A and B are shown apart, each in its own frame.
Chain A
Amino acid sequence: GAGVSQSPSNKVTEKGKDVELRCDPISGHTALYWYRQSLGQGLEFLIYFQGNSAPDKSGLPSDRFSAERTGGSVSTLTIQRTQQEDSAVYLCASSLVGFDNQPQHFGDGTRLSIL
């Protein structure tokens, strides 16, 4: 079946511009996560959506970062007034939800480059 889909796969933009990154989770997965992977680094949690609950935004690095999830499916991560340190791969993951943690399945990410 279809996996997690992210678009665009690559984005190059100038410092100060706003960018929007899109994530289509696996059908039926009610949990959705955004992570950031800087060059040669591990993955850093950004934000978590679960059903209709308020999102967990505890990982967002600044108020320039925001995300929404419409209709419990597609999610958009927005970065306003981009800075060079925002350059990274932004990864989205989705999972089922149960009493125990469920495996998170990742997309291939959006590689963001800020000039």
Chain B
Amino acid sequence: GENVEQHPSTLSVQEGDSAVIKCTYSDSASNYFPWYKQELGKGPQLIIDIRSNVGEKKDQRIAVTLNKTAKHFSLHITETQPEDSAVYFCAASKSGSARQLTFGSGTQLTVLP
């Protein structure tokens, strides 16, 4: 089955700096890659996603890049703010009957004021 690895497990940045979180996946059939933000006591919130026919996607301060050949994808957050502090999860899934997400182990991002 699919295996998703995520690095780093913790990341501290100064407010205004950029943060990058990286994930690799094992199943070349995976074609959908969402990123979720989870705050304490809350469920994961979708912040951005990318499909395998696209190499990069941006939404304001957030961007995701995908390298299908290397089977890795990354989340980039620019101009970080204290409210960006949370746990971030990457995930992967594929089309067909089995559409469940396989998640990475999460990154605790702390933005220092």
Contact = CB atoms under 8 A, between A and B. Distances in A.
Does B associate with A? yes
Interface of A: 4, 31, 33, 35, 41-45, 48, 50, 56, 58-59, 91, 99-101, 103-109
Interface stretch (B13-21, B63-71, B74-82, B97-105): B97-105
B103 A43 contact: yes
A103 B89 contact: no
Interface of B: 6, 31-32, 34, 36, 41-46, 49, 51, 89, 91, 93-95, 97-106
Contact of A103 (B49, B98, B102): B49
B51 A43 contact: no
Contacts of B106: 41-42
Given A41-B105, A42-B105, A56 B44 contact: no
* Residue of B32, B98, B99, B102 with highest tally of chain A CB at under 10 A: B99
B88 to A, nearest CB: 11
Contacts of B42: 108
A41 B31 CA distance: 24
